[in-house]
Structure 1
């Protein structure tokens, strides 16, 4: 069975995994009574909260495929929030998107100068950009927003995009969700959030996943860019300007992270710049990219997971997160069975023990404290990275210094 799954195309395996997760979620809803686990409201919240993480993950993908570690995604997102708020306050939501893109790209350019031109350690440069972005935006916010909002920590309220939905599809899914049928209604509720409450920046975020895949894996430019992260010396001997490829990748990375900051500012529930609103999402985006094994489809799944957990705890609180422990137990059991079929006995035993421990936690407590539930996305980040660490395959020359002419 597992051998047959291995022969399927990547999109087919992803679809099967997604269907299995929806089935497990549906069983959890039925047995726990927590309908918020698969409601359209939770799904819509997951899209809005997962969108900034998706942009950051895409930014990390572009940079790291060219061999540059970009731990400065957090700082570039911070720069993007201020740029989006400043431009959006004066010229509207489309200008906010452009402002976030430009300010994030400037952060990416600084990272490229430090790491590519001067060979500064990538981690040191990324941390420095995060600190610089945080301090610079505090200063700029005080300078620009205090006269108009009397609060240096927050901008005036911005004009947002008009929300829309996919005609016909959204109404049909809502009708199916209201019927409360096992699996069918749960699937309809989850899909409904993907076609309702849409804005141009949401559509752009979804579109950039296949666009990034096509550019990086189906064009000569993408091949040259990825070669800069896999075998830069060999690429240079074939005439590839490795330095230019790295610069382009890191600047695009910063621009995408800046769009993530703009997505936070343009969230219909907020529509303003707020100090510290990024809240570690740049790092979570980096984790989503690693979880996705440096592939666009995988990082989309990772961003959706983190956005879903965040949206669930905000909408339903500790009780829903508590019910999610039951679903995590089922996932662990399924994984243990699959690994046992492949005769990976040690991994199967670890997964089974982990599932039993999670179920023991579910059985012994009635609800997850709100203080702990608010950190659920961060906890999921740690668990997912620990589980995925054995199958990761980063670019071969990721984080390795490169100087022009090394291959001569």
Structure 2
């Protein structure tokens, strides 16, 4: 075997020869997905699928999921599993609402950050310092956060014009709409032209009735990528999640970086909770997180522990969640056709690669969804309500083979254990 042959084999991508998706390929896949979506919309007649209102609502629902996912990414890149995101979001909703109705929405946002950060700090103390199992700690924080906020609500909101389960109304954060452009895109979307109207609806939803806090949340995604992948600080933090013993041998204070990461994780989840209370609803309500912390964790896993992939996952879950708010039964019924086509494409691809068993299974499920779509006019309301959670399970199941978590994620670590 020649030296050149060895070098070529060593340079081959891991994981069965899979190559990393480049930006042109990603853009091509996005364009193909948009064409397919537009085709389904035109065939089914569900014109609200890509309307300005649908996209705007999906973005608002995706933001708290994305912030929770971003929080999970910070913690797990440092090697700490954060199941407690849901509890940290609960703390963010309560503290954000409590401060928001008294001193204004932006103060509420700050207190939501602080409330979530306290939950993250508690998780860091339990897991990093005392080396408790990360899952046990996260579940405990979720339970404690619910009980703690219920207790506080009894003698705060109930005495200030609210109730033990709901806060008084919070002042709204400024919303912006790009004048002229928003109206033009709305008119273009209303014409229901193939592809053009769908693109106009998507762009219109991004420039219409947009909260300033939504802008801040979206900007946190590229900011996280830059900090973690383009700075020395980010390199040290990620090294703690890949090989903390090696990081310590190079002079990295592993405990410090884990504390910073998990506290930041809680702060981001708390910001997501504050968004729910201040922007999405305008009030705190008991149980309003609705499992979004767990869905955010699923979005992070779907995105392969990367900010961009996590954002796509959050957008997908936010979109399916928004379907039940605007013509839910009709829109979800149209998605049956989309799922059928995607399964058919998957079957063709598997058969092309001579993987006959997965190909036949995908083809069979595709036929089932085609029949379901053809023989019904709408889906049961229960299915509409369950659509976000079904999507979460399906996406994680289909993407599981391509995932690569940080090598030391969730593993116990003691200072000096490599000596």
- Report the TM-score when normalising by structure 1: 0.95
Corresponding residue number in structure 1 for 2:360: 349
| CA shift for structure 1 position 316 | 1.0
Corresponding residue number in structure 2 for 1:405: 416
| CA shift for structure 1 position 341 | 4.1
2:50 to 20, 23, 38: 38
Counting only pairs closer than 5 Å after superposition, residues 261-272 of structure 1 correspond to structure 2 as: 261-268=273-280, 270-272=281-283
| CA shift for structure 1 position 52 | 0.5
Counting only pairs closer than 5 Å after superposition, residues 276-295 of structure 1 correspond to structure 2 as: 276-295=287-306
2:401 to 384, 390, 398: 390
Corresponding residue number in structure 2 for 1:209: 221
Corresponding residue number in structure 2 for 1:299: 310
Corresponding residue number in structure 2 for 1:221: 233
| CA shift for structure 1 position 345 | 4.1
Checking the alignment, whether the CA contact within 8 Å between 2:82 and 2:138 is kept in structure 1 is yes
Deviates more, 1:115-124 or 1:359-368: 359-368
Corresponding residue number in structure 2 for 1:186: 198
Counterparts of 1:17 and 1:172, CA distance in 2:
27
Counting only pairs closer than 5 Å after superposition, residues 307-346 of structure 1 correspond to structure 2 as: 307-346=318-357
- Measured against aligned partners, the alpha-carbon deviations of 1:35-65 in whole angstroms (never above 9, x if no partner) come to 1111111101001111100000000000011
Checking the alignment, whether the CA contact within 8 Å between 1:291 and 1:384 is kept in structure 2 is yes
**CA RMSD across the alignment:** 1.7
Deviates more, 1:346-355 or 1:149-158: 346-355
Checking the alignment, whether the CA contact within 8 Å between 1:36 and 1:312 is kept in structure 2 is no
Counterparts of 1:7 and 1:28, CA distance in 2:
30
- Measured against aligned partners, the alpha-carbon deviations of 1:285-306 in whole angstroms (never above 9, x if no partner) come to 0000001111111111100001
| CA shift for structure 1 position 171 | 3.0
Deviates more, 1:256-265 or 1:193-202: 193-202
1:143 equivalent in alignment to 2:143: no
| CA shift for structure 1 position 96 | 1.4
- What are structure 2's unaligned runs of at least 5 residues? 1-12
What secondary structure is seen at the aligned counterpart in 1 of 2:413?
coil
Counterparts of 2:350 and 2:153, CA distance in 1:
52
Corresponding residue number in structure 1 for 2:369: 358
Corresponding residue number in structure 2 for 1:371: 382
Checking the alignment, whether the CA contact within 8 Å between 2:47 and 2:192 is kept in structure 1 is no
Larger Cα-atom Rg? 2
**In 2 relative to 1, CA 114–25 (structure 1 residues): closer, same or farther, beyond 3 Å?**
same
Counterparts of 1:190 and 1:114, CA distance in 2:
43
- Measured against aligned partners, the alpha-carbon deviations of 1:122-152 in whole angstroms (never above 9, x if no partner) come to 0000000000000001111111100112511
What count of residue pairs does the alignment treat as equivalent? 403
Counterparts of 2:373 and 2:129, CA distance in 1:
52
- What are structure 1's unaligned runs of at least 5 residues? none
1:133 to 140, 145, 154: 145
Counterparts of 1:104 and 1:400, CA distance in 2:
23
**In 2 relative to 1, CA 8–184 (structure 1 residues): closer, same or farther, beyond 3 Å?**
farther
Counting only pairs closer than 5 Å after superposition, residues 76-115 of structure 1 correspond to structure 2 as: 76-115=88-127
- Measured against aligned partners, the alpha-carbon deviations of 1:222-276 in whole angstroms (never above 9, x if no partner) come to 11111000011111101111111111110000000001101101235x2000000
What secondary structure is seen at the aligned counterpart in 2 of 1:240?
coil
**In 2 relative to 1, CA 335–205 (structure 1 residues): closer, same or farther, beyond 3 Å?**
farther
| CA shift for structure 1 position 167 | 4.1
Deviates more, 1:352-361 or 1:178-187: 352-361
